[in-house]
Structure 1
Amino acid sequence: MTPGDRAIPAGVVVLTDRRQTRRPLVDVIAGAVDGGARWVVLREKDLPRAERAALAARLRALLAPVAGTLVVAGPDPLDGDAVHLPAAGPYPPPSLRLVGRSCHDAAELRRLSTEDYAILSPVFPTPSKPGYGPLLGPRGLARLARHSPVPVLALGGIGAPEQAAACVAAGAVGVAVMGAVMRAPDPAELVRDLARATGCVEAPTVRAAAGGSRAREVP
């Protein structure tokens, strides 16, 4: 990378949800990291800030030996420098090393400004949010990814290698997975299988353009 480049999430990105786990969340994430996960998004927004910050510190300690990154859902980075924001805001995004945003359609993609990446959802039906939609499917994902001003990850109902492969074929740089990893008897094995399916060996980078301009426009 050059000084103007930043690593962005790619391959398999794990989103946390302690309510779906079969054992302590930290143990699940440790398994995911053993399986090759290098990006983790900490949700758990209902926790008091002090508890959430302590959990963030423990997860960063797991990721540090493998040069992984913890991204915090919401505008508060919890003493870090990477956040993932909802489509609803805040706008403009905070000035941090890494900022991502959830998007669901072209209108939300057009609102992106200085964000580094977007997570597009839902791609497939998801047990975590029954009835959540409308579903993009691989074709809808491809349409949005093709015109997105930033690299995109696919989210929603992804738990099998063939689904991960379909998302990458549609133009995503990786997949964001929550429920499948949280509920997996062996998170390491699942993440390993999904990572192979994405074919992502090295994290892509996004180059900061002069004046913050983006190369592509969303129709």
Structure 2
Amino acid sequence: MLKPDALRRRLRFYFITDDQAEGFSALEQVRVAIEAGATMVQYRNKSFQLTDYATVEAICRYCQVRRVPFVVNDHPLLARAVGADGVHVGQDDTPPQLARRIMGPRAIVGVSVSSLAELERTELTDCDYIGTGPIFPTGTKPDAKTVQGLSGLQSMAARSPLPVVAIGGIGPGRARDCFAHGAAGVAVISCISRAANPIKAATAMADACNVSSV
């Protein structure tokens, strides 16, 4: 299990895979992000099928070799099966308490919280961090909730007892703004996965997060 300070450092540049990026596989996305300096990786695929298992396993093994924590979105059983470091769940997914039981006491458990009202009704005892957003408009998640803006992020960071990761429409310039408003980390998808030059984009994000290649 990561200690609180170590976890905060790992949340800094949080890359999430994009299952809709044409011609750019999830594994290759992860390679580009980690080569640039990504400090944590999440596998996200809302249409996951068992035929995708080998991909998740390969990403997990690559992250292990590079010593970058790897979490799986939504699926604690999948995370446990591939040996992931943790799982991230949404408000309508597996409850954090059950995710913790499945993953064990040493795992990383993150939960999505999109408003202060959700924060108040979310049981955080078994969680290590929260993901909040969208901070800015985003086209990656069609089911995204109301945009919070930087003021919403600042309020969330002030009220949350756990580190806060900002997500939604974040690029290098906006990343700096998120850190200035209390975020422990920024989660990014399309600014890398759908960039004309993903390597250049990932490097710019690493610079904005003040991290270097691991």
- Give the TM-score normalised by structure 2: 0.83
Asked if 1:23 is matched to 2:24, the reply is yes
Please state how far the C-alpha of 1:187 moved relative to its aligned partner: 2.4
Contact 1:12 1:191 in 2 (8 A): no
Could you say which residue in structure 1 is the equivalent of 2:140? Answer: 128
Distance in 1 of aligned mates of 2:211 and 2:182: 12
SS for the counterpart of 2:193 is helix
Identical residues among aligned pairs (%): 30
The 3-state SS of whatever aligns with 1:99 is strand
Cα distance in 2, alignment partners of residues 185 and 11 from structure 1: 24
Name 1:85's counterpart in structure 2.
89
Q: Distance in 2 between matches of 1:63 and 1:153?
A: 20
Distance in structure 2 (CA, Å) of the matches to 1:200 and 1:149: 25
Q: Compared with structure 1, are the counterparts of its residues 158 and 21 closer, same or farther at alpha carbon in structure 2 (3 Å cutoff)? A: farther
CA distance in 2, matches of 1:180, 1:128: 10
Structure 1 segment 113-152 matched on structure 2, within 5 A: 113-129=125-141, 132-152=144-164
Verify the 8 A CA contact 2:37 2:211 in the aligned structure 1: no
Of 109, 116, 120, the residue aligned with 1:106 is 116
Which residue in the other structure is 1:5 paired with?
3
| TM-superposed deviation, 1:85 | 0.3
1-side partners of 2:181 and 2:211: how far apart?
Answer: 14
C-alpha spacing 1:61/1:79, structure 2 compared with 1 (3 Å): closer
Structure 2 letter corresponding to 1:148: S
Higher relative contact order (CA 8 A, sep 6+): 1
Question: Is residue 181 of structure 1 aligned with residue 192 of structure 2?
Answer: yes
2:173 equivalent in structure 1: 162
Report the 3-state secondary structure (helix = DSSP H, G, I; strand = E; otherwise coil) of the residue aligned with 1:13.
strand
- In the TM superposition, what is the alpha-carbon distance from 1:151 to its structure 2 partner? 0.2
CA contact (8 A) 1:153 1:175 kept: yes
- The structure-2 alpha-carbon separation of the partners of 1:102 and 1:64, relative to structure 1 and needing over 3 Å to count, comes to same
List alignment gaps of at least 5 residues for structure 1.
Answer: 202-219
Q: Which residue does 1:206 correspond to in 2?
A: none
Deviation digits for residues 125-175 of structure 1, max 9, x if unmatched? 11224694421111110011111011010000112x210000011111111
Give the direction of change, closer, same or farther, for the CA distance of 1:88–1:164 in structure 2 (3 Å limit).
same
Classify 1:121/1:142 alpha carbon distance in 2 versus 1 (closer, same or farther; 3 Å): same
Quick check: 113-122 or 82-91, which moved more? 82-91
* Number of equivalent positions: 199
Q: Give, in angstroms, the shift of residue 179 of structure 1.
A: 1.6
Structure 1 residues 188 and 61, CA gap change in structure 2 (3 angstroms): farther
Q: Distance in 1 between matches of 2:180 and 2:117?
A: 23
